[in-house]
A and B are shown apart, each in its own frame.
Chain A
Amino acid sequence: MFLIPDPVGRFFHRMASPPHFYALTEKLMPWLVGIFLILLACGLYGGLYLAPPDYQQGDSYRIIYIHVPSAWMSLFIYIVMAVTGAIGLVWRIKLAEIVAISSASVGASFTFIALVTGSLWGKPMWGTWWVWDARLTSELVLLFLYLGVIGLYNAIDDKRTASKAVAILALVGVVNIPIIHYSVEWWSTLHQGPTVTKMDKPSIHVTMLVPLLLMAVAFKFYYVIAMLQRARLELLQRERTANWVKKLLTEPTP
């Protein structure tokens, strides 16, 4: 390997060192949680109280404020997982492997929430809990991909090897991401088309849109919090015999 002479390289090298990461995430956590809670409170107040009922769907549409951000997160986190997995695969950076696997459980949770809330919205609006159409089926495949990644990681005892296997699985599964995104345009489906990403002619009123965007940003912060908590656990498990962990144990920690 080559040396890292430049300050930028040194910065990343230091950031990726486990003890530094462990200490830094502890310091950042209260700030992240604070911002998340403020965004969440504003988003929920705007979405559940201030926004008017939909002229067709009544109050049932309010599920949008968790359904749509969850669905966005399910795709976003998968891409993060695949990219960090690839970085871990190529450069063998331990922290990238840990971020990849720590993202999997959060991503699986958001996929599950998107599916369940969609179902709870579909029942009163479409008259059915579930249809085997392109959007719903490809999102279900995404859940299985996440579960496959988690299962594969747990099945292999050596975690460096497990991370390699998981990264390859995650990269292969990336093909599903554009399928989910374009499914409502490529196939005729019960699922409604995009409302927000049509910037030229948005089909959603601003009083409904602002809370939705607030919730989307709140969920981004939530992902960082949950992923970091999982990563701290994963890091300790992997580094349990390292010197910095031994030092951590002798100091009284809150």
Chain B
Amino acid sequence: MSLQEFFAMGGYAFYVWTAYGICFVVLLANIILPIIQRKRLLRHLALKQKRHNL
């Protein structure tokens, strides 16, 4: 099977790759967003504690 054939998915390329693409984006967002938010919260709390100690 050539690479071109693989990506063509027997003519169903649009449906198959859109499905996998949406799945990938949604699942990635579910991991990345809480990590970003937690890092931001930690920075915020650290800053507040520093100010408090001054």
B17-54 vs A, CB cutoff 8 Å, 1 = contact: the mask equals: 01110110011011100110110011001100100000
Check if A63 sits within 8 Å of B41, measured CB to CB: no
A190 within 8 Å of B (CB atoms): no
Count contacts on B: residues with CB < 8 A to the other chain: 27
**Other-chain residue from B1, B22, B30 in contact with A105 (beta carbon distance below 8 A):** B30
Known: A53-B10, A117-B22. A63 touches B30 (CB 8 A): no
CB neighbours (8 Å) of A197 from chain B are none
Query: How long is the Cα–Cα vector from A83 to B27 in the complex, in angstroms?
Result: 24
Contacts of B49 in A (CB 8 A): 246, 249-250
Q: Do A62 and B46 have beta carbons less than 8 Å apart? A: no
Of all chain B residues, the one with the shortest Cβ separation from A118 is B19
Query: Is A112 touching B34 in the complex (CB atoms < 8 A)?
Result: no
Which residues of B sit under 8 angstroms from A87, Cβ to Cβ?
none
B45 and A226 contact, CB distance less than 8 A: no
Q: Is the CB of B42 within 8 A of A236?
A: yes
- On whether the beta carbons of A124 and B19 are closer than 8 Å, the reply is no
How far apart are the CA atoms of A209 and B25 in the complex, in Å? 25
B19's contact among A49, A66, A222, A237, by CB below 8 Å, is which? A66
A249-B46 in contact given A62-B16, A123-B15 (Cβ < 8 Å): yes
> Among the listed B23, B29, B30, B31, which residue makes an inter-chain contact with A117, where contact means beta carbons less than 8 Å apart?
B23
User: Roughly how many angstroms separate A26 CA and B49 CA in the complex, as a whole number?
Assistant: 23
Closest residue of A by beta carbon distance from B10: A59
The interface residues of chain A lying within 8 Å CB-to-CB of B41 are 233, 236-237, 240
* Contact status B45-A63, CB under 8 Å: no
How far in angstroms is the closest Cβ of chain A from B8?
8
The winner among B11, B19, B22, B29 for most chain A CB atoms within 10 A is B19
Complex CA distance for A117 and B21, rounded to whole angstroms: 10
Chain A residues, Cβ within 8 Å of B9: 59-60, 62
* Contacting residues, chain A, for B29 (C-beta < 8 A): 109
Whether A63 and B19, one on each chain, are in contact in the complex, defined by CB atoms closer than 8 angstroms, is yes
Cβ-defined contact, B38 with A236, below 8 A: yes
Task: Name the B residues within 8 Å of A236 (CB-CB).
Answer: 38, 41-42, 45
Partner of B37, one of A53, A233, A245: A233
Which residues in B have their C-beta under 8 angstroms from that of A232?
34, 38
Q: Which residues of B contact A (CB under 8 A)?
A: 1, 6, 9-12, 15-16, 18-20, 22-23, 26-27, 29-31, 34-35, 37-38, 41-42, 45-46, 49
